[in-house]
Structure 1
Amino acid sequence: MIQKREAQDLPSALNQLHELKAQFQGKTPAVFLDYDGCLTPIVQRPEMAILSDEMRTALHELAAVTKVAVVSGRDRKNVEDLVKLDNLYFAGSHGFDITGPGGMASEPGGAKAALPALDKADGILQEKLQHVAGSLVERKRYAIAVHFRNVAEDQVQEVRKAVDEVLDAMPELKIGYGKKIYELKPNIDWHKGKAVMWLMQELGLNDDNYIPLYIGDDITDEDAFAELQGQGIGILVGEHDDQTAATYRLESVEEVRVFLQDLTDTIKQKSNG
């Protein structure tokens, strides 16, 4: 049974660092992170989410001492280009497209079969929403993100109606929710949590030496938090519109950076000890 709580009821990962580290039980944390709202602040348009030099340095230094993966709803190539680090693993499209050091390249989850439906849905949504000011239909390889952050409140329902009409006509697709986003995804039992466990298996980390630690801010990250309950640690950044299966909380992107730096120091001390 997945345990869920209100975000504000979670203990701070920074204030409870000693307690959190005790859960490592001598293991090294393998770190998985969302991009938007976790490594960069949420912005008005996706292309404005630029990684700071300080955060890039924190990620690079952490990846030098343990496995680090960015698990994003963005296209894998897009998030790779934003992060600009070759010692990380990247799971794009909620884990349907994964690459990493040593030539790793895989598309687990079986989403290719949904590509024709995504192509068709993209065209229909572009046409249906072209007159809705502020809407943005963003085609990704294995998803379509329909952004309504900049849509007037009285027109949001029109955006949802268009999405529902497409979904009703295409059983190959299902809806996902994010912060001011409706997302059409392949109707397959695959998500960020399954991608994390796939990576743990593929990288040989599912033994007694490693523990998965996932940091994310959005409803789509809840699949990973739920997957890790009882076998890893979930940390929510800020809050979203639902209860969370995470065990700790960080307030901001800046707190994420501080936490990652501390984690790096902790792992270094362990390896030197």
Structure 2
Amino acid sequence: MRSIWKGAISFGLVTIPVKLYSATEQKDVAFHQVHREDGGRIRYKRVCTIDGEEVPYSDIAKGYELATGEMVVLTDEDFEDLPLSTSRRIDVLQFTPVEQIDPIYFAKSYYLEPDAQGAKSYVLLRNALETSGQVAVVKVALRQRESLATLRVRDGVFVLETMLWPDEIRTPDFEFLEEDIEVRPQELKMAESLITTMEADFDPSEYRDSYREALQSVIEAKVAGKEVVTPPVEEEAGPAVDLMAALRASVEAAKREREGAAPAKRPKKAASDKSKEKEEEKPAAKRKARKSA
């Protein structure tokens, strides 16, 4: 991995120099827009919509469009006096239980690696944070944008997770929330039973991106000059008419799937069966003697 930012964690009077790495990467198959006939790449030019002339990158500025359609042009000088921190610090603001932070706020995850001279203070803060069971709420400026973020520990490494601001979270204003929808107790009980039946420990390695794998196979077949065969598409079931029946069928299907995946268990033997086995294990002479007596 290559670091994309260098700075320091500011924790009280303690400064911990760190390097920032992107913790995730997209595995999507990348495409280019090309000419269908010869495969040539399609290029775009920066053209002014007013005079139709191509504009060099050095003459391009940022513009903010007003509601009236007028454009406010901003230059580099307009951004110089803005209160964006350039100190390259990750300022610890407070510590809080992680369950108090709704996951909807999280935007992007980064790893933090300590510089050689900051390794001890890094490990000290890491161990203290793990012991507390909390996360650090911090403020950081990345890519010309100031963000709130959290600092937590994963596999012995600090993970910086940038967060959205509260006014960036949309309100779910949906009509059905205002409706009085009645759910019968039997339906609720059956839905809870389905959840219980499908409970399992989460193992991300059990899941894969089947669409990306199929797309990669299509590309490889094109390269090899093979005929591309489209797999049959299964028809999806429509919405359930009888909710209770659908829930009951889902529970039974989940149970069958769980029983098929789990190794078969030997049935427990009853106490009478165990006594019979012990009786059969005794020598024949003793059984005869007991019978004659």
Q: Same fold by TM (over 0.5)?
A: no
Task: State TM-score, norm by structure 1.
Answer: 0.20
Q: Which structure: larger Rg?
A: 2
Task: State TM-score, norm by structure 2.
Answer: 0.19
